[in-house]
Structure 1
């Protein structure tokens, strides 16, 4: 197991505080969803993936189970695989089991905890695999540029693997920027394999983000707990309720935390006032038509080569190449 390559970790810590202060200072208060995943947030998300209402993970795993061999046939030997936001490593294990002579696996995470979680899961399964973790923010273009240059990832042919529906968490403009980062990370004539959640029945979407057991609500509110613990804040979690909404115009699920009362919260000594019913917008999850995603990818310099979908048309894995 290789030593974790890290860059600007102090900047990452400072950016958390700066992003929270900036988000809560907006007219529509917001918090970046990339900060959901501390230890507790990661554990809660793993619970979400097992819920009946949350179709995303099991649907994608069914696609991988059925098509991993076909995907592998389209990829060359001796690739390095880079997984931004690697999570538990469950999905990459499906691919690694079918790929021949993988050069190395590079989990790329903003969270030390999630890197360690991924390493602990994958190392026993693939003891001969060279694992070279990267600690950094894959949404930050300058950081990606510096890391890819310093590790020489940009001088070889790589597969960037981005499963789940995480690309949908970002606005179209930010998604293009992130896919440009993937274009850089895939190196010389490389590949990007990315998951997208497709448009479907509105109620199916709403249920997936507001389960009956309240796990998604706990996951959403845990972001406030993390801010309390790490940024010297005093959010009262009992005074905020989870809410999911479907924004028809923008084709996305939105998650909000709704203030139950008029209240004031402090973060690192700065005060923020909430009126009753006011929301903090914590996450978007865009749902795509395949043609719209093809056009979005093209703006990042990537062309759609192949897609694999489930029988219901709920989800798609898309293989992209540089244009």
Structure 2
């Protein structure tokens, strides 16, 4: 039997007016902080892939190896349904799951349309029996998945690798986990990757790679703001730094103003003091017990956990608490 392969792409990327509003709100905070998804334009997505290949950044390699090794077990625990990946990026981690799970469809959600289209095409070529749907969106703000034939009448299984939930504060993460329950619907299951606390030297090195890719990734945010929101940033007038904040169990990443300066952005003037940080991202690290408590507060319960031998990260299978 010949299987007809196909892929579609739905573009729900936030409008420029929404971007401007979010940027103004972030610039008014202290410390200033912009939504992490703004980092992921086409160049930002390319640089993030390069970060994942740096020797200091082991999360991607460790998680990929764990998925490859345990894919049959993970697929059996997930069961049948459409596989929905949040923050799919290059969609390369999902391959072992697709092979083992053979879902009726795969849906990739990501903020970068330039990245998502080629990723879906490549994935469709590698897995021609699984129809692929790409949705360009800020999944943290998505209230419902769009109507599409591939999503109708099917149980939904969530896949959220990369410890991306760490980019949200614990309260934001709780709200997001509630939202994922809504997006996935009745009987849903969620397989989620969580980076765990480890030696501070290792954590800080992972976000301060010697090749300077993390710094280029952060500065590219300013390039994007200049392009998309009429900004006047000089990226070299900001130094990049990342450090561990033990009181919050997180890495903070920031661009720090090298001198007092004023920039134009989204139709307004913004003044920076010398040494003032602009937070580009946080990355919260959760011990397994802490993450399961967070998940429970959002209506999920743990139904399985898989970890690498060193205990650097976990894959948690969550099911709805009332199921």
Which TM-score tier does this pair reach, normalised by the shorter chain? over 0.9
Which residue in 1 is equivalent to 2:134?
Answer: 133
Structure-to-structure mapping, 1:1-323, within 5 angstroms: 1-7=6-12, 9=13, 11-77=14-80, 79-100=81-102, 102-140=103-141, 143-145=142-144, 147=145, 150-151=147-148, 153=151, 156-323=154-321
Residues 80-89 or 110-119, more deviating: 110-119
Q: Is the 8 A contact 1:155 1:188 kept in 2?
A: no
Tell me how far apart the structure 2 counterparts of residues 268 and 225 of structure 1 sit (CA, whole Å).
14
Distance 1:165 1:43, change over 3 A: same
Query: 1:23, 1:29 within 8 Å by CA — same for their partners in 2?
Result: yes
C-alpha separation in 2, matches of 1:214 and 1:14: 32
CA distance in structure 2 between the partners assigned to 1:155 and 1:303 by the alignment: 24
- 1:90-112 deviation per Cα after TM superposition (whole angstroms, max 9, x unaligned): 10112112113x11111112221
TM-score by length of 1: 0.93
TM-score, normalized by length of structure 2? 0.93
- Alpha-carbon spacing, 1:154–1:291, altered in 2? closer, same or farther (3 Å): farther
Cα deviation per residue 1:21-40 (whole Å; 9 max; x = unaligned)? Answer: 21112231111111111110
Quick check: 117-126 or 87-96, which moved more? 117-126
Cα distance, 1:154 vs. partner?
8.2
Instruction: List gaps (5 residues or longer) in structure 1.
Output: none
Q: Please report how far the alpha carbon of residue 70 of structure 1 lies from its aligned counterpart in structure 2 after TM superposition.
A: 0.9
Provide, for residues 249-292 of structure 1, a one-character-per-residue CA deviation record: whole Å limited to 9, x for no partner: 01000001010111110013310001111110111100111111
CA-based RMSD: 1.6
Pair 1:43–1:6, CA change in 2 (3 A)? closer
Instruction: Tell me which stretches of 4 or more aligned residues in structure 1 moved more than 3 Å.
Output: 150-156
CA distance in 1, matches of 2:175, 2:119: 25
Distance 1:267 1:185 in 2: 34
How many residues are aligned here? 315
Tell me the distance in 2 between the aligned counterparts of 1:136 and 1:50.
25
- The CA deviation string for residues 53-72 of structure 1, in whole angstroms up to 9 with x for no partner, is 00110110111121111111
CA contact 2:263–2:269 (8 Å) conserved in 1: yes
| 1:114 Cα deviation from its structure 2 partner | 2.5
